[in-house]
Structure 1
Amino acid sequence: MRTFDLSPLYRSTVGFDRLFSLLDQVGGVDNGTTYPPYNIERTGENAYRITVAVAGFSERELGIEVKENTLTIRGEKQVAEKSADVLYQGIAARAFERRFQLADHVEIRGASLENGLLHVELVRQVPEAKKPRQIPISTGADAPAAAITDRAAA
């Protein structure tokens, strides 16, 4: 596996340490978990859906939690009394925990269980204060008074 050295980028950026630590995590340890399978879809400009195949699990046996930009989906089968001898068990009924790292300002809108698929709806809503805005540039004649007094005091 290839490794990338991001250290040259650290000295030319400001405020991106969290992004670089996330990139380091992605390039790091792969836990190799493939159960249960899932899809991540883009359903709109700022809308996403995570679909997890949870065949055989009921709503009570599933749990969804969001904590510190991490979405965790858990499933644990309840032990039921055996009504018949199972000759072959091909349907997985093992417990699982699947984690997804969420970007800043991503919120969970809801979840639904349909035909053995768990759909988790997400939307990215950037606060107005965080959206890009234009900064006017003033010249010496129309510079703000505070900037002029600061220069005179120096």
Structure 2
Amino acid sequence: MTTFDLSPLYRSSIGFDQLASALDSALRSDQTAPGYPPYNIEALDENHYGITLAVAGFEESELDIQTEKGVLTISGKKAKNKEPHKYLYQGIATRSFERKFNLADYVEVTEASLVNGLLSISLKREVPEAMKPKSIPITQGENKVIEHQKKEDKAA
């Protein structure tokens, strides 16, 4: 039996959660992909999402957040320190990174904040009115389309 690991798609896509959840639970795998920096993706409600990245040691000026063509890119580049440090042990990673997340249609970044080494990004899905399903009322009475066609047939 072949096993498919869709966790990379699930972890890097925002707004596809229903499809990803169904596929992920149907094809669950025990494999996990290591990555830096660690992050969480959270569905706050039907149309609001949050991404939190652990970016300890980075300042706001060293982080960059961009969206282009449905891809959210978060990158960090540590500024060169002029004073060399003599670490006995360095457990806080300060290496450069780039994380990309695919955004579903109509998902936009609304804000970002950096508090206590956690970069939090808020996302919102806003489907335009023209794309939302519409309910068509059913009326009692004659069928106006058929009535209109009968008039055209008589004129011909």
Q: Give the TM-score taking structure 2 as reference length.
A: 0.70
Find the aligned partners of 2:39 and 2:79 in 1 and give their Cα distance: 22
Deviation at 1:86, TM superposition (A): 1.7
Deviation at 1:89, TM superposition (A): 1.2
Please list, as runs of the form range in 1=range in 2, the aligned pairs for 1:86-101 lying within 5 A after superposition. 86-101=87-102
Q: Which residue of 1 aligns with 2:60?
A: 59
Find the aligned partners of 2:147 and 2:107 in 1 and give their Cα distance: 38
Q: Which residue of 2 aligns with 1:84?
A: 85
Percent identity reads: 48
Find the aligned partners of 2:124 and 2:96 in 1 and give their Cα distance: 28
Q: Which residue of 1 aligns with 2:47?
A: 46
Deviation at 1:73, TM superposition (A): 0.3
The answer to whether residue 120 in structure 2 is matched with residue 119 in structure 1 is yes
- Residues 17-66 of structure 1 show CA distances to partners (whole Å, capped at 9, x for unaligned) of xx9xxx8xx99xxxx45110000112223111100000000000000000
Q: 1:37 to 1:84 in 2, by over 3 A?
A: closer
Find the aligned partners of 1:63 and 1:124 in 2 and give their Cα distance: 22
Find the aligned partners of 2:97 and 2:139 in 1 and give their Cα distance: 58
Q: 1:52 to 1:146 in 2, by over 3 A?
A: farther
Report the count of equivalent residues: 132
Find the aligned partners of 2:119 and 2:147 in 1 and give their Cα distance: 57
Deviation at 1:90, TM superposition (A): 1.1
Q: Partner of 2:80: helix, strand, or coil? A: coil
In structure 1, stretches of 5+ residues that fail to align are 5-18
Q: Which residue of 2 aligns with 1:148?
A: 149
In structure 2, stretches of 5+ residues that fail to align are 6-15, 28-32
Find the aligned partners of 2:135 and 2:148 in 1 and give their Cα distance: 19
Find the aligned partners of 1:139 and 1:71 in 2 and give their Cα distance: 50
Deviation at 1:139, TM superposition (A): 9.6
TM-align CA RMSD: 3.3
